[in-house]
Amino acid sequence: MAEPLATTRTDYQRDRDRIVHSTAFRRLVYKTQVFLNHEGDLFRTRLTHSLEVAQLGRSIARSLGLNEDLVEAIALAHDLGHTPFGHAGQDALHGQMAAFGGFEHNQQSLRVVDLLEERYPEFNGLNLTFETREGVLKHCSRHQAEILERNEPVYADGGGGIGQRFLNRTQPSLEAQLCNLADEIAYNAHDIDDGIRSGLIRMDALMGLSLFGTYADAAARAHPHLTAPTQSRRWMYETIRRMLSEQVFDVIDATRLALADAAPAHVHAVRQAPPLVQFSAAMRERSGELKKFLMAALYRHPQVVDTMAHAKQVIRDLFEAYCNQPLEMQSGFVARWAQPRPEDGVPGDEDGRLRRIVADYIAGMTDRFALREHHRLTGKTLLGSVS
């Protein structure tokens, strides 16, 4: 809905401020990135990840002359829809919702900023700008885009809502494209750090990867004392710092070339062009090699897979418990169950409606709240200790 213009900030700054003050944003501090929140205090959480994406995004945006405030707003909101326990939580919820429209964290991020935050008198959600919402919705199936488009507001330029680009196969703004890439740069780097810190991957296993090995060698040449056994952590940090800088420089250079080539006169031309914010072909390959390694060595490490299997069970148990006993949910969700709203599901489909409310409730939980609730409702302790 239209609101009066803010007097001291731009619309994107207001978006960012609303995101930072939201409940969902505060909860990111207790949500898993790769390692569960209780496994250690030093691992990334969704909050620190989002801050790192915002930092990388802003710094690239400044060099390219893009809108830094929009980049920051998108980066800080991009993971708001993540469930407890990372992708394991999403997969378990999707399993429960498969016949009822599914569950996907990107779409849930949009649901959080459009509907689930309840803090303003005149509207649900945060009433963010089209551009911030567009950036938050990174992926969307054709089917979901069609559903989304039916409920999108009518924008002044008549170009359709944020689902339209998934139907037209066009691109989002440069700022949204940048956030996708900053997300990838951030997690590749911090998952190396967390993976080594956890003991699940070793630095020497990374040496054969071009994106890591090149900079580890360069760091050792510039600072030979870093190869001493007592300096290994400092060596890793210096390597990651170089990796980050090189990727940032690469994106800036490759994007400048692509922009010079495409010469878009307006954001509409950006949307019609192929993706313009990009790595060089060589860096894309190196980043891909590192991602493959992290997938095999870290995300599919037996210890991570085992923990995530338990996490999925926690989510499935919770889902079943609330579906059987909706009154066990917090009062706001019980009220939604008692008073149907169109956004909670198709009228008359009571099973689907309850499931959507339960999915929203569980998706909003932090890791530790989910574990506490699981213990309260089932008497079981599947993961760590419940405090």
Chain residues that interact with Mg ion, rule: CB under 5 A = 79, 183
CA 88-24-42 angle, 5° bins: 60
Q: Which residues does 342 contact at the CB level (< 8 Å), separation at least 6?
A: none
* Closest distance of CB 339 from Mg ion, Å: 34
Question: Given the complex with Mg ion, which of 68 and 79 has the nearer CB atom?
Answer: 79
CB of 379 to Mg ion, least distance (A): 35
Give the torsion sign (CA, 24, 139, 362, 147).
positive
Q: Which is nearer to Mg ion, 294 or 358 (CB)?
A: 294
DSSP letter assigned to residue 21: T
Q: Is residue 317 within 8 Å of residue 374, measured between CB atoms?
A: yes
> Using alpha carbons only, how large is the chain's radius of gyration in Å?
22
| Cβ proximity to Mg ion, 175 vs 183, nearer residue | 183
Can you give the three-state secondary structure of 82-106, one letter per residue?
CCCCHHHHHHHHHHHHHHHCCCCHH
Q: How far is the CB of 33 from Mg ion (least distance, A)?
A: 8
- Residue 179 CB, shortest distance to Mg ion, in Å, is 9
Q: Tell me the closest approach of the beta carbon of residue 305 to Mg ion, in angstroms.
A: 21
Report, in Å, the least distance between residue 105 CB and Mg ion: 9
Distances (CA, A) of 361 to 100, 326, 331, 342: 16, 11, 11, 17
Strand partners, 32: 45
Burial class (CB in 10 A: 0-12, 13-18, 19+), 320: middle
Q: Least distance in Å: CB of 82 to Mg ion?
A: 8
Q: Which amino acid is at 59?
A: S
CB of 78 to Mg ion, least distance (A): 6
139 or 142: whose CB is closer to Mg ion? 139
Q: For Mg ion, which is the closer residue by CB, 133 or 355?
A: 133
User: What's the CA angle centered on 185, arms 44 and 238, to 5 degrees?
Assistant: 75
Place of tokens 């069970």: 313
Contact 331, 232 (CB under 8 A): no
Q: Which residue is nearest to Mg ion (CB)?
A: 183
Among residues 314, 364, 380, the alpha carbon closest in space to that of 30 is found at 364
Other CB atoms within a 10 A radius of the CB of residue 81 amount to 25
DSSP string, 213-244: HHHHHHHHHH-GGGGSGGGHHHHHHHHHHHHH
Distance CA 328, CA 224 (A): 60
Task: CB nearer to Mg ion: give 136 or 206.
Answer: 136
* Shortest Å, Cβ 230 to Mg ion: 34
CB 77 to Mg ion: min, Å: 11
Q: Strand, helix or coil at 45?
A: strand
Q: Which residue has the tokens 């066990």?
A: 328
